[in-house]
């Protein structure tokens, strides 16, 4: 049955459960839903709010109904008491039909709070395909990496921020983009006209990127962008598949309309493997000038936020540091991860890569990104047979790469600067540093730096969590101004060739075995700084995983029968810290083992005579130890300044004739190693004058000795270093105990100088480093324990609460809060928010969340 009440507009309600309308006298509430289906389920009580047209009419109304007055609010406004909720609804409906009654409805109460910090399930029909935004199954169970945007949207959707797509133009009239592109500005720097549409028939890239930034949310079409309320600006710089505007046009683009544009998304990198300034893979002087203008004048002096792809050339041994557009320390260099969080096979690594975002692979072996495509037969997808039809694309053979990960980070940047307009471009970088997460524990470039932060050359600090990032942005205090310190070393030295040796120790060791010539494996981890001296164990050919536990040991392996890569993997699987492989022919000949860059541990190759000699020695002496020495030339920089590092640069001038043979690394006083330059196919000379940048030392204290190591993996074409400069960028800090926390802050806030940056003194999940940067108390939890109730989707409810890793939470339930609660399940904690999902059921149920340990 339908009941019509007046609120004062007439509105029809239907009881949720037909049976529950047959209430007993004790039932004071009845659940109803609007007959048109709008709004949530609400509860009507056993009292009726009545408002009459005039005060004089109230008396007659009350007498007609015959119910006592529960409370009197005004001469024409009373609350009447009915015997039960059912009668109240019936009487309210009768009153609402009376001419002299303006308002008549039962008192209302909501049920449980329906909106936790999770935006409602979007009505966009393909949101469920956007695993990169929210990677859950229909029951809310996490399936892999995502940006966690729905937990950020209640706080920011990017409103008020204009994100420029520097690309081949955008289908401005696409229904998902039209509202976002309406304000502009748009400009084609090739044609020199105010036009942002696709610049040629094959121009599909910009439209796909634009949709990832700001496709409309809640328009019952397609999916959503990361920042669905951001505005889009199309800055056209490509006019054919490989044609880009000239350097003057690029300069104009970088500094275009800084009064409006706040974020740049650049899904391009240069595709030359050499270091060729200017313009081919590093900005010309006019572009440098324009970029500097953007970072100093953009966003009212806070600086444009510029996001750029790391590139798609990992398979060619490329490095993002060889692209001066990407490695600029004021930009955000973005890598790509596939759905399980592992770096994509194409994502160009580099010490300058700050973060990563989800993308597809080169085939459809992993799910790819769902985004907008040029309408109809134009664009990547002409087919109406695909998911979403021809106006969308989700096929990694059509659209993938760091091109797809970059606009998602630009969208996140828009969420941040919308949530807090005071953020500088450096603040945005640092929020990403502190809110990102490493997903792939097997990343062999992963290290924990001196500030306790996990960082990798493939994915930087990992994939940002949008909710954590936005919540940090809301309370983020601006970082102090940037200071830059330069240290020059003008020493001239020859870069050692075929560097590296194995140092062996043991009693009665033949002198000829004490130091063995070796060659490093072609790819994979390297002993850039000396390894520990570890017991050496002969594991034969290593055609299978040894049953020995090699933890804390080194493996000696003979060439033959299976691949080098397999041998090294088997040794690593048994726990070996590094592998020494010896030749089975040719006495003293050496080679570079052709290993993939995913090889798990450092490995070197030694000659047959040396290997057989070692094997014979190990048969009679079990106490031999070995360590790997790189043999690179080392240049020391003694840095007296105590600076909390941000980006660290190394400018190098050499006379080396073949850059692709060289390997340069930088070790900080804390022991963190940045690989600046590694072997590649570049046969050109250099670096003649190049500056490499690293984010690996973020928040480390700069004070102490930095080691620049220079080596040449291949014989021939020796070169010389002629000048080296270390560039420390950051904020000076008083930090005598070198733990990245200001000593005065530590003493006043924690009371001791004994904690570390990664400690969490108050156990709220936020490290002392984060608390120092955020200026929150490290000895009082930032968050209060509070359970949020939200609809995950139509059928599933989500309970969420501030959670910690390595902690267990117990869910308890009861039909009656006065009766004992029973345990439903245990949930493993996850920082910053832990969740539990359950299917919606009828009726009432009460839940508790308890910390078990
Ligand atoms: Ca949409
Ligand atoms: Ca299309
Ligand atoms: Ca300190
Ligand atoms: Ca804390």
| Residue 201 CA to ligand 2 centre (angstroms) | 12
Whichever domain contains 238, its CATH number is 3.40.50.200
Of the listed ligands, the closest to the CA of 739 is 3
> Whole domain around residue 796: which residue ranges?
788-851
Q: How confident is the model at residue 130 (pLDDT cuts 50, 70, 90)?
A: very high
Interval 610-625 mean pLDDT: 92
Q: Are residues 658 and 623 in the same domain?
A: no
Interval 552-577 mean pLDDT: 98
Interval 381-385 mean pLDDT: 93
Q: How confident is the model at residue 270 (pLDDT cuts 50, 70, 90)?
A: confident
Q: Are residues 832 and 763 in the same domain?
A: no
Q: Are residues 164 and 254 in the same domain?
A: yes
| Residue 312 CA to ligand 2 centre (angstroms) | 24
The predicted-structure confidence for 172-192, as pLDDT tens digits, reads as follows 999 999 999 999 999 999 999
pLDDT higher at 436 or 242: 436
Of the listed ligands, the closest to the CA of 215 is 1
Interval 98-108 mean pLDDT: 91
| Residue 130 CA to ligand 2 centre (angstroms) | 18
| Residue 781 CA to ligand 4 centre (angstroms) | 6
Percentage with pLDDT > 70 across the chain? 97
Distance CA 259, CA 771 (A): 33
Is 139 within a domain?
no
Q: Is the pLDDT of residue 271 over 80?
A: no
| Residue 225 CA to ligand 1 centre (angstroms) | 8
pLDDT averaged over every residue in the chain = 93
Distance CA 696, CA 693 (A): 9
- Residue labelled with tokens 């994502």: 347
Q: How confident is the model at residue 441 (pLDDT cuts 50, 70, 90)?
A: very high
The predicted-structure confidence for 278-328, as pLDDT tens digits, reads as follows 667 889 999 999 999 999 999 999 999 999 999 999 999 999 999 999 999
| Residue 401 CA to ligand 1 centre (angstroms) | 22
Interval 109-120 mean pLDDT: 59
What burial class does residue 651 get, using C-beta atoms within 10 Å of its C-beta: 0-12 exposed, 13-18 middle, 19+ buried?
middle
Q: Are residues 311 and 328 in the same domain?
A: yes
What pLDDT was estimated at residue 113? Answer: 39
Of the listed ligands, the closest to the CA of 733 is 3
Is 125 within a domain?
no
* DSSP reduced 3-state for 723: strand
Q: Are residues 469 and 410 in the same domain?
A: yes
Q: Is the pLDDT of residue 216 over 80?
A: yes
Q: Are residues 449 and 302 in the same domain?
A: yes
Is 267 within a domain?
yes
Interval 39-61 mean pLDDT: 87
The predicted-structure confidence for 315-341, as pLDDT tens digits, reads as follows 999 999 999 999 999 999 999 999 999
Interval 682-693 mean pLDDT: 93
Q: Is the pLDDT of residue 617 over 80?
A: yes
What pLDDT was estimated at residue 24? Answer: 45
Q: Are residues 678 and 706 in the same domain?
A: yes
For residue 474, the tally of other CB atoms under 10 A from its CB is 12
| Residue 391 CA to ligand 2 centre (angstroms) | 5
Is 137 within a domain?
no
Domain count, the chain: 6
Q: Are residues 367 and 406 in the same domain?
A: yes
| Residue 381 CA to ligand 2 centre (angstroms) | 4
| Residue 374 CA to ligand 2 centre (angstroms) | 5
| Residue 757 CA to ligand 3 centre (angstroms) | 9
Point out the least confidently predicted range of 136-145, 164-173, 704-713. Answer: 136-145
Domain boundary among 592, 610, 629: 629
Q: Which of 19-33, 105-119, 553-567, 814-828 has the highest mean pLDDT?
A: 553-567
Of the listed ligands, the closest to the CA of 804 is 4
Domain boundary among 629, 652, 671: 629
| Residue 139 CA to ligand 4 centre (angstroms) | 31
Q: Which residues, in sequence order, are bridge partners of residue 177?
A: none
Q: What is the DSSP letter of 507?
A: T
Interval 614-639 mean pLDDT: 93
Residues ≥6 apart with Cβ < 8 Å to 345? 314, 315, 361, 362
| Residue 55 CA to ligand 2 centre (angstroms) | 65
Q: Is the pLDDT of residue 20 over 60?
A: no
Is 119 within a domain?
no
Of the listed ligands, the closest to the CA of 763 is 4
What pLDDT was estimated at residue 131? Answer: 97
Of the listed ligands, the closest to the CA of 225 is 1
Residues with CB under 5 A from ligand 4 (ion): 760, 762, 764, 766
Which two structure tokens, joined as six digits, stand for 698? 């973020």
What pLDDT was estimated at residue 40? Answer: 62
Is 413 within a domain?
yes
| b/e per residue 594-613 (b: at least 16 CB within 10 A) | ebebbbbbbbbbbbbbbbeb
| Residue 741 CA to ligand 3 centre (angstroms) | 4
Of the listed ligands, the closest to the CA of 738 is 3
| Residue 126 CA to ligand 1 centre (angstroms) | 8
| Residue 758 CA to ligand 3 centre (angstroms) | 12
Q: Is the pLDDT of residue 114 over 50?
A: no
pLDDT higher at 319 or 138: 319
| Residue 131 CA to ligand 1 centre (angstroms) | 15
| Residue 376 CA to ligand 2 centre (angstroms) | 4
Is 463 within a domain?
yes
What pLDDT was estimated at residue 276? Answer: 75
* DSSP reduced 3-state for 817: coil
Is 122 within a domain?
no
Q: How confident is the model at residue 38 (pLDDT cuts 50, 70, 90)?
A: low
What pLDDT was estimated at residue 122? Answer: 92
| Residue 185 CA to ligand 3 centre (angstroms) | 47
pLDDT higher at 657 or 780: 657
Q: What is the DSSP letter of 591?
A: -
Interval 653-661 mean pLDDT: 95
Q: Is the pLDDT of residue 110 over 70?
A: no
| Residue 777 CA to ligand 4 centre (angstroms) | 8
Domain boundary among 60, 95, 110: 110
| Residue 379 CA to ligand 2 centre (angstroms) | 4
What burial class does residue 756 get, using C-beta atoms within 10 Å of its C-beta: 0-12 exposed, 13-18 middle, 19+ buried?
middle
What pLDDT was estimated at residue 15? Answer: 83
Which two structure tokens, joined as six digits, stand for 464? 């940002």
Q: Which of 105-119, 260-274, 438-452 has the highest mean pLDDT?
A: 438-452
What pLDDT was estimated at residue 372? Answer: 98
Q: Are residues 716 and 812 in the same domain?
A: no
Whichever domain contains 568, its CATH number is 3.50.30.30
| Residue 741 CA to ligand 1 centre (angstroms) | 44
What pLDDT was estimated at residue 817? Answer: 83
Whichever domain contains 659, its CATH number is 2.60.120.260
Q: Are residues 283 and 401 in the same domain?
A: yes
Q: Are residues 551 and 517 in the same domain?
A: yes
Of the listed ligands, the closest to the CA of 644 is 3
Q: Are residues 421 and 566 in the same domain?
A: no
């Amino acid at each position: 049955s339908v009941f019509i009440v007046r609120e004062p507009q007439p509105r029809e309600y239907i009881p949720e459960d037909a049976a529950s309308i047959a209430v007993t006298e004790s039932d004071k509430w009845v659940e109803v839903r609007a007959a048109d289906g709008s709004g949530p389920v609400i509860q009507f009580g056993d009292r009726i709010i009545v408002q009459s047209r005039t005060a004089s009419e109230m008396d007659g109304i009350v007498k007609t109904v015959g119910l006592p007055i529960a409370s009197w609010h005004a001469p024409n406004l009373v609350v009447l008491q009915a015997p039960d909720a059912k009668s109240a609804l019936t009487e309210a409906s009768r009153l609402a039909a009376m001419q002299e009654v303006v308002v008549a409805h039962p008192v209302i109460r909501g049920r449980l709070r329906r909106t936790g910090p999770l935006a409602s399930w979007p009505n966009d029909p393909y949101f469920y395909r956007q695993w990169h935004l929210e990677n859950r199954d229909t029951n809310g169970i996490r399936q892999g990496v995502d940006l966690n945007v729905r937990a950020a949207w209640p706080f920011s959707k990017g409103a008020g921020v204009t994100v420029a797509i520097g690309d081949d133009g955008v289908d401005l009239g696409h229904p998902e983009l039209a509202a976002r592109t309406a304000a502009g500005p748009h400009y084609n720097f090739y044609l020199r006209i105010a036009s942002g549409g696709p610049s040629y028939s094959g121009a599909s890239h910009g439209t796909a990127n634009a949709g990832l930034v700001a496709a409309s949310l809640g328009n019952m079409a397609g999916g959503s962008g990361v920042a669905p309320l951001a505005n889009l600006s199309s800055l056209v710089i490509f006019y054919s598949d490989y044609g880009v505007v000239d350097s003057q046009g690029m300069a104009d683009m970088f500094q275009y309309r800084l009064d409006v544009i706040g974020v740049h998304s650049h899904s391009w990198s240069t595709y030359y493997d050499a270091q060729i300034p200017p313009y081919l893979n590093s900005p010309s002087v006019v572009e440098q000038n324009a970029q500097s203008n953007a970072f100093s004048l953009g966003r009212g002096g806070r600086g444009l936020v510029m996001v750029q792809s790391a590139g798609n050339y990992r398979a060619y041994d490329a490095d993002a540091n060889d692209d001066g557009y990407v490695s600029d320390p004021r930009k955000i260099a973005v890598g790509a991860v596939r759905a399980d969080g592992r770096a994509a096979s194409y994502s160009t690594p580099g010490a300058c890569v700050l973060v990563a975002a989800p993308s597809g692979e080169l085939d459809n072996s992993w799910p790819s990104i769902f985004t907008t495509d040029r309408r109809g037969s134009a664009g990547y997808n002409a087919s109406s047979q695909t998911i979403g039809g021809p106006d969308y694309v989700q096929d990694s053979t059509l659209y993938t790469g760091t091109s797809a990960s970059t606009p998602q980070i630009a969208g996140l940047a828009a969420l941040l600067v919308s949530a807090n307009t005071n953020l500088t471009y450096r603040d945005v970088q640092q929020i990403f540093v502190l809110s990102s997460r490493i997903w792939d524990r097997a990343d062999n470039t992963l290290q924990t730096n001196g500030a306790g932060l996990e960082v990798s050359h493939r994915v930087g600090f990992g994939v940002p969590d949008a909710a954590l990032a936005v919540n940090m942005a809301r309370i983020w205090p601006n970082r102090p101004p940037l200071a830059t310190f330069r240290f020059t070393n003008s020493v001239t030295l020859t870069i050692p060739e075929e560097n590296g040796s194995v140092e062996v120790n043991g009693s009665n060791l033949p002198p000829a075995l004490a130091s063995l010539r070796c060659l490093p494996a072609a790819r994979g981890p390297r002993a850039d700084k000396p390894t520990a001296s570890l017991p050496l164990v002969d594991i034969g050919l290593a055609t299978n995983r040894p049953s020995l536990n090699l933890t804390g040991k080194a493996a000696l392996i003979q060439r033959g029968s299976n691949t080098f890569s397999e041998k090294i993997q088997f040794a690593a699987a048994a726990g070996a810290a590094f592998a020494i492989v010896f030749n089975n022919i040719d006495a003293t000949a050496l080679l570079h083992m052709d290993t993939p860059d995913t090889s798990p541990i450092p490995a070197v190759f030694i000659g047959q005579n040396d290997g057989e000699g070692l094997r014979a020695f190990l048969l009679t002496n079990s106490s031999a130890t070995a360590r790997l020495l790189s043999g690179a030339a080392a240049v020391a920089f003694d840095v007296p300044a105590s600076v909390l590092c941000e980006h660290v640069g190394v400018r190098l001038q050499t006379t080396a004739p073949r850059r692709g043979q060289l390997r340069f690394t930088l070790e900080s006083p804390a022991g963190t190693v940045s690989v600046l330059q590694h072997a590649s196919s570049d046969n050109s000379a250099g670096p003649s004058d190049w500056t490499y940048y690293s984010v690996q030392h973020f928040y480390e204290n700069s004070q102490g000795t930095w080691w620049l190591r220079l080596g040449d993996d291949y014989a021939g074409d020796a070169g010389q270093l002629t000048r080296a400069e270390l560039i420390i960028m950051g904020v000076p800090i008083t930090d005598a105990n070198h733990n990245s926390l200001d000593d005065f802050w530590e003493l006043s806030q924690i009371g001791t100088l004994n904690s570390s940056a990664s400690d969490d003194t108050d156990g709220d999940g936020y490290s002392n480093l984060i608390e120092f940067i955020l200026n929150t108390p490290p000895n009082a939890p930032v968050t209060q324990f509070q359970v949020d109730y939200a609809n995950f989707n139509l059928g599933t409810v989500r309970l969420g609460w501030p959670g910690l890793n390595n902690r267990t939470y117990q869910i308890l339930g009861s039909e009656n809060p006065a009766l004992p609660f029973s345990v439903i399940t245990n949930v493993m904690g996850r920082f910053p928010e832990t969740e539990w999902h359950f299917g919606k059921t009828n009726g009432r149920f009460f839940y508790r969340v308890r910390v078990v340990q």
